[in-house]
């Protein structure tokens, strides 16, 4: 079994390759080519919580991945630890062999941004040039890199409750020549943004219906567990909503709040991302349509990304080998 740390993952999974892997997994799911549906389990604890997400990627022999992530938003201020920590176990889906144990932070970061970029490629205006990034931490930086791969972004509005994060964000991209403008709030920049990404860890609304404008594409990333919210429910009611997985979004995404408020029903969801990729549902049909991508994060993204890292590690000889001694068969 291979052990692959965060530096290994970063070296082996360029953003463009992650986008391609994630897109393929969503397509396979929409086309019914996977042997099982992805699953999720959430366990809240004081100060944070744990998520377990699982999926199988085919065709045979295929891969099975289980990701365990801990999410503790107070960590950076309290202990200096990252908000998200975790690991991914990758297995051979044909015989159950453990293949790799991977640090999950880099994969979670890359695959989340990759999904938003795929959605933007299908739904953002073709000539989109302005971007709002609300939440300038790890996810905000990854999203800018991913969106630059699908749209010619020339001006970025950046906001975060911590001014130091905004300054670090601007500094990281200084060499790109992109004009980055700090703003106090999402509402200040939304009237001017073609594309917006919200990736905050909070439970307070940052996007309201009076802020948005025709033609906008919004990737709502922060709501990934019960109770978390970044968009007012009426924003979803005004837009065409695309989810990564609708059943999951109804439970833990922005959709949960629109459903609870009675402003939408499940049948009002326009499409899942895989359906757009597979051509089963239409994308943008007019320049006035507003789209919201409700991104909750799925194990489809994790297994596709982990498999890509593992295969490249085998090809390049990267990673450390750990031998697991098997014992007698017993109860599981």
Q: Which residues are catalytic?
A: 67
Dihedral sign (CA 272, 277, 282, 286): positive
77-103 b/e (C-beta count within 10 Å ≥ 16 → b): eeeeeebbbbbbbbbebeeeeebbbbb
> At CB < 8 A and 24+ separation, what contacts does 79-88 make?
82/138, 83/137, 83/201, 84/108, 88/302, 88/306
Burial class (CB in 10 A: 0-12, 13-18, 19+), 267: exposed
| CA 36 vs CA 54, 105, 245: distances in Å | 10, 25, 14
């Amino acid at each position: 079994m291979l052990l692959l740390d965060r530096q290994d993952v970063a070296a082996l999974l360029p953003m463009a390759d992650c986008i391609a892997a994630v897109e393929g997994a969503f397509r396979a799911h929409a086309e019914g080519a996977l042997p099982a549906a992805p699953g999720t389990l959430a366990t809240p604890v004081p100060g944070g919580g744990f998520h377990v997400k699982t999926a199988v990627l085919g065709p045979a022999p295929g891969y099975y991945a289980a990701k365990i992530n801990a999410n503790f938003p107070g960590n950076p201020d309290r202990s200096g630890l990252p908000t998200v920590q975790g690991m991914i176990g990758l297995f051979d889906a044909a015989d159950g062999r453990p293949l790799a144990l991977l640090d999950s932070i880099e994969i979670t970061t890359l695959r989340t941004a990759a999904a938003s970029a795929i959605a933007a490629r299908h739904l953002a205006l073709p000539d989109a040039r302005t971007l709002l990034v609300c939440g300038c931490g790890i996810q905000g930086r990854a999203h800018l890199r991913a969106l630059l791969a699908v749209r010619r972004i020339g001006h970025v509005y950046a906001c975060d409750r911590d001014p130091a994060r905004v300054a670090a964000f601007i500094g990281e991209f200084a060499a790109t020549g992109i004009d980055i403008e700090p703003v106090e709030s999402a509402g200040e920049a939304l009237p001017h943004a073609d594309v917006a990404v919200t990736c905050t860890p909070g439970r307070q609304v940052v996007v309201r219906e009076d802020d948005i404008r025709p033609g906008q594409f919004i990737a709502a990333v922060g709501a990934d567990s019960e109770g978390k919210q970044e968009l007012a429910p009426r924003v979803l009611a005004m837009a065409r909503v695309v989810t990564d997985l609708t059943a999951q979004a109804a439970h833990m995404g922005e959709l949960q709040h629109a459903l609870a408020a009675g402003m939408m029903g499940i049948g009002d969801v326009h499409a899942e991302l895989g359906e757009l990729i597979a051509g089963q549902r239409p994308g943008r049909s007019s320049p006035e349509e507003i789209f919201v991508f409700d991104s909750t994060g799925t194990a489809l993204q994790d297994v596709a990304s982990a498999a890509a890292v593992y295969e490249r590690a085998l090809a390049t000889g990267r990673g450390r080998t750990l031998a697991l001694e098997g014992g007698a068969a017993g109860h599981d």
